Chains A and B, each alone.
Chain A
Amino acid sequence: MLDLVKKIVKAPAISGREDAVAEVIRAQMAPLCDEITRDKMGNLICLKRGSAPDGERRRVMLAAHMDEIGFFVTFIEENGFIRLTPIGGTNFVAAAFTTVVFANGTRGVLVPESGTAANALTFDKFYVDIGAKDKKDAERKVKIGDYFVVEPTVTRLMGKRIAGRPMDDRIGCVVMIEAARRLPAPRDDIYYVFTVQEEVGCRGSKPSAFAIAPDVAIAYDVTGTGDTIGAKPMAVKVGGGAAIKIKDSSVICTPELVAALTATAKAEKIPHQIEILPYGGTDTSSMQMAGSGCAAGCISIPTRYIHSGVELIDLGDVEACVALTVAYLGGEGK
């Protein structure tokens, strides 16, 4: 699984510019499903047809977002320094003094103007130094409208834990790919949807859910935890298993689906925990509300330090998320 994580993390793809990672995921999914399309917005939709007879097959939509937070280039100074605007919820304390990479492979360092106080770290105080001598030199590699991200990394820590970026939400993509591998003959029609533009307001899942009109929808995304120093009280912890979401700021998950997932986890002895996130939003909400609606839930991967370069997860939790998905969809299909 670690190899797959490394492969999927590596392709830089901010919201609205997801092609690079979509191609990596398409290559993984091609042998596992019957039909792959990309809709007009760029969502990658992989359909695996179910074996149950017509009328008994549910339409199940699984969604993880391909996009990550990052930056667009807005202006190049005469001295060759590059100004930027953030895409998605960037934590500028975490972004200060990091290595960044552009789509064409150009590297730079993202730094605040010297003398900026820690509590004044906003995007307009930052620039990227790519080592250019002046504006003209910089323009050989970078132009206005290019995008870049904090350099993707994966570091192995103790046990099954790893840290790096962007776990949010490539790790959700990994869960779906791994689940597709272990569900070679599902009962239901399963639409594995790798969505775009989640980080800027759950935009991609709206039209894709509208087009698919699922009966049941499950999102896969990272969630915050209460197990770090100074964390807000929250019952979720890294290593505690798959987190079955009850709510976040954008959604109250369908109680029957929460109950079915919890019962499956209990019956199959899959490590799990209940997640009630007092903030945040996920594709769950837009799937629940698309068209005339559907039963929607979310299986979350507990993650420390979200939206930093060192998002920390436990591969045991990832495995539990896969196992829960396979058990829920591979069972009676209830």
Chain B
Amino acid sequence: MNLKERILAVSALMSVSGFEARAHAALREQLDGIFDEITADAAGSLFCTRRCGHAGAPRILIDAHLDEIGMLVTEVLDGGFLRVLNLGGIDTRILPAAEVCIYGAETIYGVITSTPPHLQKPDEAKKLPAIGDLLIDTGYSRDKLEKLVPLGTPVGFVPRYTELQNGRIVGKAFDDKSCAAIAIEAIASCERSALAGDVTLLLAAGEETTMLGGTTGAAAVDPDYALVTDVTFGETPDTPKGDAFPLGSGVAISLSAVTDRRLTARTVALAREKGIAFNRSVEPTSTGTDANATQLTACGVPTVVVSLPLRYMHTYHEMLSLDDAEALRALIAAFICDTQTAEEFAR
């Protein structure tokens, strides 16, 4: 698998927040041979460990969250319609007419309802629909639907991917499974003997809702130091200056009050040494990622946050650049092989 194929394979899995365990079997198959050990926990996270072969080596945690935003069925209605709640932050402006998969007893297809402009009331176009006002049209009868779709069934966007010019790809759930896939490729690209420690990739559950897996996973691994990778905003003509990064400009390394200064400085130096393109992202006291939980684990874990620019975040048409993906892969690979970091941060 090359990097693009890996990103598409991991992102296409269904791992709506709270239902990540349903992706575990397929993931284990995809990861066959890369890791020495793969285990799951009650939260629904997957722990993938590749060892360096030295006793007493430091434990390095790489965190990318496995879950994606989605919806949850709350009611089955006459005519084959479903009412849903959001899991994670969904912009309801993008929902009307969106295509979805409903992961019940069988996986079925549905379209979210949309009122034609001709039939909209005067002010309707200006108003944001509430999630409870939108329904999913499945084409089934209510009786059949009740059997196929128990209350609490997860719903996700249809996994469909398109490649554009300049190595840009578009599709659902690159937040954060593109980073998960890139981390997998980074670890796979390093010889075991080259690793600076035992590396555990935490594919964390529940980031979009409660940061559950990042919290419990870091506690279980108890690492010497950690790198958290997640998406950040990709620049478009209408994004605010300073909050977004051009696609193709490399990764964004976070300078936040809650990430470790020395580890961040070492990561920046590594990027320079290896000629990896990067920007610096200045954030206040929260990075909005699992790092908020990682760095508070036990007596505190030195944590750096490295992000991938992503346009149209939390939609079914998220867009990333494969050049940035390669930059992130190269930086994670350099990070886990860097003996200077290991010496400085081993407890």
Contacts and interface: CB of A to CB of B under 8 A. Distances in A.
A278 B75 CA distance: 13
B72 interface: yes
Contacts of A288: 42-43, 212, 216
Contacts of B19: 255
B220 A252 contact: no
B216 A258 contact: no
B219 interface: yes
B152 A258 contact: yes
B74 interface: yes
A276 B210 contact: no
A60 interface: no
Nearest to A255: B19
A271 to B, nearest CB: 16
Given A235-B151, A252-B206, A278-B132, 4 more contacts: A276-B74, A285-B210, A292-B220, A293-B41
Contacts of B210: 250-252, 285, 289
Interface of B: 17-19, 21-22, 41-44, 72, 74-75, 83, 85, 87, 132, 150-152, 206, 209-210, 212-213, 215-217, 219-220
Given A251-B210, A252-B87, A293-B42, A274 B151 contact: yes
30 contacts: A215-B42, A233-B132, A235-B74, A235-B75, A246-B151, A247-B72, A247-B85, A252-B17, A252-B18, A253-B18, A254-B43, A255-B18, A255-B21, A255-B44, A274-B151, A274-B152, A276-B72, A276-B74, A276-B152, A289-B215, A289-B216, A290-B216, A292-B41, A292-B220, A293-B41, A293-B42, A293-B215, A293-B217, A293-B219, A294-B42
Nearest to A295: B42
Nearest to B206: A252
A276 B242 CA distance: 39
Contacts of A246: 72, 151-152
A278 B22 CA distance: 23
A274 B153 CA distance: 11
A291 B293 CA distance: 12
A256 B152 contact: no
Nearest to A244: B152
B331 to A, nearest CB: 28
Contacts of A256: 21
Nearest to B85: A278
B18 to A, nearest CB: 3
Contacts of A291: 216, 219
A246 B73 CA distance: 11
Nearest to B150: A274
Interface string A106-136: 0000000000000000000000000000000
Interface of A: 215, 233-235, 246-247, 250-256, 258, 274, 276, 278, 285, 288-296
Binding site of B, secondary structure by majority: helix, strand, loop or mixed? mixed
Given A246-B72, A276-B74, A288-B212, A293 B85 contact: no
Contacts of B75: 233, 235
A237 to B, nearest CB: 13
Nearest to B215: A289
Contacts of B21: 255-256
A293 B152 contact: no
Contacts of A252: 17-18, 87, 206, 209-210, 212
Nearest to A232: B132
Contacts of A292: 41, 216-217, 219-220
Contacts of A233: 74-75, 83, 132
B17 to A, nearest CB: 6
A245 B273 CA distance: 52
Contacts of B216: 288-293
A276 B215 contact: no
A253 B151 CA distance: 14
Contacts of A247: 18, 72, 85, 87, 152
A263 to B, nearest CB: 12
Q: Which 8 A-B pairs have the closest CB atoms?
A: A293-B216, A252-B18, A292-B220, A246-B152, A295-B42, A274-B151, A292-B219, A293-B43
Contacts of A278: 74, 85, 132
Contacts of A254: 42-44
A289 B41 CA distance: 12
Nearest to B222: A292
A256 B18 CA distance: 11
Nearest to B42: A295
Nearest to A273: B151
A247 B73 CA distance: 11
A291 B42 CA distance: 12
A276 B42 contact: no
A250 B211 CA distance: 11
A252 B213 CA distance: 12
A253 B83 CA distance: 20
A331 B119 CA distance: 56
Most buried by A among B17, B42, B151: B42
B146 to A, nearest CB: 12
Contacts of B220: 292-293
A139 to B, nearest CB: 44
A123 B92 CA distance: 35
A246 B77 CA distance: 19
Nearest to A217: B42
Contacts of B219: 291-293
A276 B134 CA distance: 17
Contact of A293 (B18, B150, B212): B212
A291 B217 CA distance: 9
Nearest to B293: A289
